[in-house]
Structure formats: structure tokens, C-alpha cells
Amino acid sequence: MNMNTLFSLQNKVVLVTGASGGLGSAIVDTMAAYGAKVIASDRTNQYVAKNGVVFIACDLSRNEGIDKLVEQAKAVYGRIDVFVSNAGVQGPAGPIELITDDDWDLVMSINLKSALRLCSALIPDMAERGQGSVILMSSIAGLRGNKAIGLYSLSKAGLAQLARNLAVEWGSKGIRVNAISPGLIRTPLATELLENEQFMQRRLLATPLRRVGEPEEIAGVAVMLASRAGSFISGQNIVVDGGTIISDGN
């Protein structure tokens, strides 16, 4: 085994959804830096293309939009080797009994249904080639109770279970499927929390590493799962949170 190529993504074609956000853009940039040919997708083009990245706009709340994304993405290089499902919305904050049917439909369609539809469209082609890696972006919110973002956490728990289901279903064809569950990461989406002094004091006391994570620390795990370094990892939900969920708060 050539250790110099353990994390290489040379000649791999990677599709990343939710590419314009803090995590998404970090994943796109890092995948490209490790040699991947990256296709980035988001609802609007806020991603500044570089490193040869190809951008495709897509509204993941619409089935026809998802189907068009698959068609266009496959047409760029003729195949997809790695799929990173990073797109997501938080939805309403507050008690879960107050969510509406529209809230449910929006959060579940973008966070969970679109991931399943994309997997269903992309994995069979990967299986024909005998290899592929799928990475679903979950959250530590899906691993513990939430009194403010219960709908979001349900969708994220569903993604972790989807990773396990697909890993079992497609493993014999050489397909690996995993989830990543980030903790609090320094992204634009987390700005309000990061600026809340009382919240941050409590959160850092409950986090053994006593800091928030950086987007590249999530991107690095995604590279590992996409590369030969992660070739015997499948069906896992990898928590990247500085130890928050294992802490006793001291």
C-alpha cells in the first residue's frame, strides 16, 4: 500500500450538495485540494468557483429539480464516485408540537427525502462499477433530545439511520455509506449562537476541547471517508464535536 496516496482523491468525481454554506464550501475546497473533480450544487450560486469546480444550481425541495441535478451532474464527467449530501435547513425553532404540516414537509423533504432520492439515483451506477462512497451530513442534534429544534433533529437522526440501511443494502456491491455528525462548528449558520455569550459559556464548559470546531475539521473527515483511508468504514455515524455529547459538563 502506497501511504502517500492513502487520502488521495485523484480522478474521483465528487458531488456535493449544500455547497455554498460554511461546511459545504469547506468540503468542496478540501475535496478539490486532494485531487477530486468536484461538482458543487446549491439552491443559488453563492459558491465562488475555483480549482476547476463545476457548479449546478438545484432546488432540492422539488423532485424534478433533484432528477435534473442527477442528469446534469452525470453528464459533466460521465459518473459520480462520491456523493456528499450536505444540504439542509433548520426549520422552525420551538416546541415540536407547534410545527405545521408545511414545516414538516419543508424540513423532511430537503434534509431527508432529497438525500434518499439522490442516493437512489446515484448508488446503482456506483454499484455497477463496484465501488463508491456516500457521505450524509447528520448532526449531534440527531443523537440527543432537543427542546428547540426537534424537527431538525428528527431529520438528522433519519439521515444516520439511512446511512446504516444503505450500507447494509449495498455493501456487497462495494458501496460504503456513512454519516458525519458535527457539533458546533464556526459557520455563518452558527453566528447567532457564537455571539451568544451565555450559550457559549455553557457550551464550552460541556465540551472537553473547550472550543468550537472549524469547517475544515469536518471536511477532513469527509475526505477520509471518500478516500482509501476510509475504505473499511461503512454504516457509521462519525461524531465530530470536540467531545460534547460524551461530556458530563465539567
Model pLDDT, residue 2 = 67
Q: Which residues of the chain have pLDDT under 70?
A: 1-3, 45-50
Instruction: Kindly compute the dihedral angle of the four CA atoms of residues 128, 224, 27, 199, in this order, to the nearest 10 degrees.
Output: 130
Model pLDDT, residue 51 = 75
d(CA 55, CA 112): 22
Residues annotated as catalytic are: 152
d(CA 65, CA 56): 11
pLDDT digits (tens, 9 = 90+) for 34-81: 999 999 999 976 656 667 899 999 999 999 999 999 999 999 999 999
d(CA 244, CA 209): 8
Which residue carries 461524531 as its cell?
Answer: 239
**pTM of the entire predicted model:** 0.95
